[in-house]
Amino acid sequence: MKNITVLGAGMVGSAIAKDLSRQYSVTAADNSRERLERLKSQTDIQIQTADLSDPDAVRVAIRGTDLVIGALPGFMGFETLKTVIEAGKNIVDISFFGEDPFLLDASARKNGVTAVVDFGVAPGMSNLILGFWNARMRVESFECLVGGLPAVRTWPFQYKAPFSPVDVLEEYTRPARLVENGMVVTRPALSESEFVEFDGIGTLESFNTDGLRTLIETMKIPFMKEKTLRYPGHIDAIRILRESGFLDASVIQIGEARIRPIDVASKLLFPRWKLGETEPEFTVMRIVVRGMEENRLKEITYSLMDRFDPATGVSSMARTTGYACTAAARLVLEGKFDKKGIIPPERIGGDPLCFDQIMKDLKDRGVIYKKEERIP
């Protein structure tokens, strides 16, 4: 039986570990013994307490494993990926880190490693879908709207974090890269907000975030953008915090203390943004790909509406992100995808057999992407 080590036992990491434990021998590593014991009580896995910010601890945790899953917060993601690659281990990673993963491509190739990065819901499935259609038609534009939200809106932020809150703040501060007329342009995070309607939800508000990531380098498409979705009113509340300096990462002096405002904001916000273990929430995504196929303009739309599953107690964000990751992991473990180097999801999507298997795996787990095609 293949051995898998899951680095990180948070909401998504736990869902990944439980899903993979149905077929493989799984070890979960995390710095929280409480998280690990709770996970072990729910499924048959091994657990290992480790400070995963320490490269030596990571090397120990992944010794003897056939595949590593990276499910750590973004600020830990790049260095952990680097350590895993240098150890010669294949990895599927969902960390939302700011660094360019292709900086590690030469190392991955040298060490004979398949390093699949950004394989969650978005980035992840959005890239996979674009990669599939880019291999079949001349794509002219790509738009992804995506968000994870609590079912109940609560003032003032009307938001709960279904994944690492640290990475949520990154979405609000990291400049957003878009592609317009074939050129990469940068816009402030939270910019160009607009209202969008979704069946069964109503009105949501979209804004620019830096979600294209590897697509900027791998896809030569004239127009591409990714926008995050929130309830109307959330953006204004975050803008007030940001423009008042609460999200600044520079150190300031207050009396004898030296602090970063963003650390104070995080300390205050995260308890209020913590999603309850059984709190209803949902993930919504709309992907629109437009282009030319057989000299005809074609528009393909994929829609996702996924809700918290009370039967299993697994959140929607954990399902949509985690099960995409486990589907990619099975491809690597079964030898169906074995290219070496840094592998973004769009490169897997270009293979129709891999694309179909991932979509089937998700459907089998109740995560369903509805596809519509039309000739505009």
Q: Domain locations in the chain?
A: 3-120+317-367, 125-307
Say whether the peptide bond before residue 344 is cis (omega within 30 degrees of 0). no
Bridge partners, 124 (sequence order): 120, 121
The two beta strands, 114-116 and 202-208, are unpaired
pLDDT digits (tens, 9 = 90+) for 124-162: 999 999 999 999 999 999 999 999 999 999 999 999 886
pLDDT confidence of residue 163: 63
Superfamily per CATH, domain 125-307: Dihydrodipicolinate Reductase; domain 2 (3.30.360.10)
pTM of the model: 0.94
- Domain pair 3-120+317-367 / 125-307, same fold: no
Beta strands in 241-318 (DSSP E): 252-254, 257-259, 281-293, 296-307
Candidates 3.40.50.2000, 3.40.50.720, 3.40.50.1240, 3.40.50.620; correct CATH number of 3-120+317-367?
A: 3.40.50.720
pLDDT in tens, 342-373: 999 999 999 999 999 999 999 999 999 999 99
**Distance in angstroms (rounded) separating the CA atoms of residues 123 and 14:** 19
Flag residues of the chain having pLDDT under 70. Answer: 162-165
Tell me the helix, strand and coil percentages in the chain, rounded to 5: 35, 30, 35
